[in-house]
């Protein structure tokens, strides 16, 4: 899942953005002060500093974090990020967002997030394994199949999850596959997990089109970021009859008015390392790609791509946030005024955590489902969640982003009041 470094808009402090979004939902729910206070404070935050011996014999100290935002709905769930720009505030914001993402789709989890300040591209495979096993040991007091279940995020992958699972299992003396999700299938991973986020993007895009009366057959789709999420979203939307008119990655973009073949484009990318240069297509820059006239725009690369600067020129009717936070709060307001229908990240890319939940359930039962069963269950949860959020946003006359937060925060607040305050 490594993203190449690309220049993006300067980011607002992610924790302040998360607090602002929460406050809006809390106001609409008329939450009492004490409940608000409780929900904005992460339950626990762990910072660890640990040494790793490099291949040249030198020792380097790394800093990592694991944060549990909320345990009200169940054990915590959230990815682990390896990136040089990781900060405590970023991980705190992402942990809170995980609480809302799990709650909006009705999973029995609270939110968590972890990260290590490092550039995985500069570490050898052995160094990466040592860093991962040591970090897993340092946060072992927090993780576990009943307490906190990590997953991959930027800079981490199924192999890293396998090392965490193995390290945790060695400490316990028996195999504990349910301690992480996003593992390789050979050690308890789930069928359909790799495709889940992109498939989920397709499901919510399809439901949105249905709601707006837009026929999917021939609908023009633009995908920014032809990676895991973007390429699967493109393929599954293409299978629904959409025309994928443009796609991009960090190497550039391609445009074809009568539609690209996403499977063939993926083969080209696997061979050439980028979608750029695909035969029969015109080149388009990433900036221009976002502004192409289209029906559905899927930003599936990274955060901060649609800003106050380019939002007035976005011509899509629907924007489905495959990536986390691709639209800045200022751009969100502009799109809302311009009546662009935005499906927010916590709903649009929840397919990944939903199938992670299925992986955890299968591991706990040691009983595995077929890919068809996984996809059917994913479909059911996402369609129900989309309709739920749409109903809230129509009833309260608010955008889908705030509707999703109202649904999520309301669920956690209800559970908190039902459980009561200990002692
Ligand atoms: P990935 O690394 O597989 O793909 C990202 C793609 O974006 C790559 O093709 C990369 O070249 C491209 N890219 C990077 N910068 C770009 C730019 N400026 N313009 C255009 N393309 C650019 O990552 P992924 O797993 O597909 O994740 C993409 C986004 O979705 C991230 O924001 C991630 O946090 C989010 N997300 C992923 C999952 C998941 O299950 N994979 C789940 C939820 C959210």
CB of 181 closer than 6 A to ligand 1? Answer: no
Rounded distance between C-alpha atoms, residue 346 and residue 96, angstroms = 11
Res. 298: pLDDT tops 60: yes
Rounded distance between C-alpha atoms, residue 40 and residue 36, angstroms = 6
Least confident of 6-10, 97-101, 240-244, 245-249: 6-10
**Which pLDDT value is given to residue 11?**
60
Mean pLDDT of 307-323: 98
Assign a CATH topology to domain 42-175. Rossmann fold (3.40.50)
User: Tens digit of pLDDT for each residue in 36-74?
Assistant: 999 999 999 999 999 999 999 999 999 999 999 999 999
> To test ligand 1's pocket by mutation, which of 300, 306, 344, 350 has the most ligand atoms within 8 angstroms of CB?
300
**Which pLDDT value is given to residue 328?**
94
For residue 244 the two structure tokens come to 């994928």
Ligand 1 mean position, distance from CA 247 (Å): 13
CB of 21 closer than 6 A to ligand 1? Answer: no
Q: Whose CA is nearest to atom 15 of ligand 1?
A: 250
> At 378, is the pLDDT very low, low, confident or very high (cuts 50, 70, 90)?
very high
196-348 maps to CATH 3.40.470.10: no
Decide the pairing of beta strands 220-224 and 282-284: unpaired
**Which pLDDT value is given to residue 415?**
98
Res. 19: pLDDT tops 50: yes
Mean pLDDT of 136-145: 98
Q: Is 31 left (phi over 0), alpha (psi -120 to 50) or beta?
A: beta
Please give the angle made by the CA atoms of 226, 229 and 233, to the nearest 5 degrees. 85
Quick one: CA torsion of 98, 395, 340, 353, rounded to 10 degrees?
20
How confident is the prediction for the chain on average, in pLDDT? 96
By C-alpha distance, which of 145, 146, 144, 156 is closest to 182? 156
CB of 229 closer than 6 A to ligand 1? Answer: yes
CB of 6 closer than 6 A to ligand 1? Answer: yes
Domains 42-175 and 196-348 in one fold: yes
Rounded distance between C-alpha atoms, residue 193 and residue 378, angstroms = 10
Residues 42/76, Cβ–Cβ less than 8 Å? no
User: Tens digit of pLDDT for each residue in 249-273?
Assistant: 999 999 999 999 999 999 999 999 9
Res. 12: pLDDT tops 90: no
Ligand 1 mean position, distance from CA 69 (Å): 24
Q: Whose CA is nearest to atom 23 of ligand 1?
A: 1
Ligand 1 mean position, distance from CA 324 (Å): 9
Q: Whose CA is nearest to atom 8 of ligand 1?
A: 227
Ligand 1 mean position, distance from CA 163 (Å): 23
Element (H, E) at 109: none
**Which pLDDT value is given to residue 193?**
96
Q: Whose CA is nearest to atom 17 of ligand 1?
A: 250
Rounded distance between C-alpha atoms, residue 203 and residue 94, angstroms = 24
**Which pLDDT value is given to residue 194?**
95
CB of 323 closer than 6 A to ligand 1? Answer: yes
What's the pTM value of the predicted model, to 2 decimals? 0.96
CB of 1 closer than 6 A to ligand 1? Answer: yes
For residue 140 the two structure tokens come to 């072992």
Ligand 1 mean position, distance from CA 269 (Å): 14
Res. 276: pLDDT tops 50: yes
**Which pLDDT value is given to residue 6?**
40
Backbone angles phi, psi at 301, to 5 degrees: -110, -70
Return the axis-axis angle of helices 33-40 and 14-28, rounded to nearest 10°.
150
Measured from the Cα of 229, ligand 1's closest atom is: 26
Catalytic residues: 113
Res. 296: pLDDT tops 50: yes
Measured from the Cα of 352, ligand 1's closest atom is: 40
Mean pLDDT of 329-349: 97
Ligand 1 mean position, distance from CA 365 (Å): 32
> At 8, is the pLDDT very low, low, confident or very high (cuts 50, 70, 90)?
very low
CB of 290 closer than 6 A to ligand 1? Answer: no
Res. 3: pLDDT tops 70: no
For residue 129 the two structure tokens come to 């394994």
Mean pLDDT of 212-235: 97
User: Tens digit of pLDDT for each residue in 354-366?
Assistant: 999 999 999 999 9
Which sequence spans correspond to the domains of the chain? 42-175, 196-348
Ligand 1 mean position, distance from CA 253 (Å): 14
CB of 226 closer than 6 A to ligand 1? Answer: yes
In angstroms, the Cα distances linking 89 to 19, 96, 136, 167 are 11, 11, 21, 27
Judged on CB neighbours under 10 Å (0-12, 13-18, 19+), 207 is: middle
């Amino acid at each position: 899942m490594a993203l190449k470094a690309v220049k993006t808009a300067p980011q607002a402090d992610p924790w302040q953005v998360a607090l602002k979004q929460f406050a809006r939902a809390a106001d609409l729910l008329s939450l009492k002060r004490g409940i608000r206070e409780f929900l904005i404070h992460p339950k626990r935050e762990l910072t660890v500093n640990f040494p790793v011996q490099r291949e040249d014999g030198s020792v380097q100290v790394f800093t990592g974090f694991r944060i549990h935002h909320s345990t009200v709905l169940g054990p915590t769930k959230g990815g682990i990020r390896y990136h040089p720009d990781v900060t405590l505030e970023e991980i705190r914001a992402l942990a809170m967002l995980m609480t809302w993402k799990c709650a909006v789709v009705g999973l029995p989890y609270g939110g968590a997030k972890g990260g290590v300040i490092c550039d995985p591209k500069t570490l050898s495979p052995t160094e990466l394994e040592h860093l991962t096993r040591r970090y897993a040991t340092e946060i072992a007091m927090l993780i576990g199949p009943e307490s906190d279940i990590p997953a991959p995020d930027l800079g981490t992958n199924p192999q890293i999850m396998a090392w965490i699972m193995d390290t945790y299992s060695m400490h316990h003396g028996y195999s504990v596959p349910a301690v992480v999700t996003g593992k390789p299938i050979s050690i308890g991973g789930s069928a359909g997990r790799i495709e889940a986020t992109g498939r989920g993007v397709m499901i919510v895009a399809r439901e949105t089109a249905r709601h707006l009366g837009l026929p999917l057959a021939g609908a023009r789709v633009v995908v920014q970021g032809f990676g895991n999420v973007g390429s699967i979203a493109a393929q599954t939307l293409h299978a629904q009859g959409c025309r994928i008119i443009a796609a991009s990655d960090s190497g550039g973009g391609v445009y074809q008015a009568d539609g690209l073949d996403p499977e063939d484009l993926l083969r080209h990318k696997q061979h050439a390392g980028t979608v750029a240069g695909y035969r029969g297509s015109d080149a388009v820059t990433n900036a221009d790609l976002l502004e192409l006239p289209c029906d559905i725009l899927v930003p599936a690369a990274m955060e901060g791509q649609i800003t106050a600067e380019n939002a007035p020129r976005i011509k899509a009717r629907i924007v489905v946030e495959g990536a986390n936070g691709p639209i800045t709060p200022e751009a969100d307001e502009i799109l809302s005024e311009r009546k662009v229908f935005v499906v927010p990240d916590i709903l649009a890319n929840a397919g990944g955590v939903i199938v992670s939940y299925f992986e955890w359930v299968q591991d706990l039962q040691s009983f595995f489902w077929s890919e068809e069963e996984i996809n059917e269950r994913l479909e059911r949860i996402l369609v129900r969640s989309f309709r739920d959020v749409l109903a809230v946003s129509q009833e309260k006359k608010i955008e889908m982003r705030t509707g999703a937060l109202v649904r999520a925060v309301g669920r956690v607040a209800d559970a908190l009041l039902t459980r009561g305050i200990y002692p």
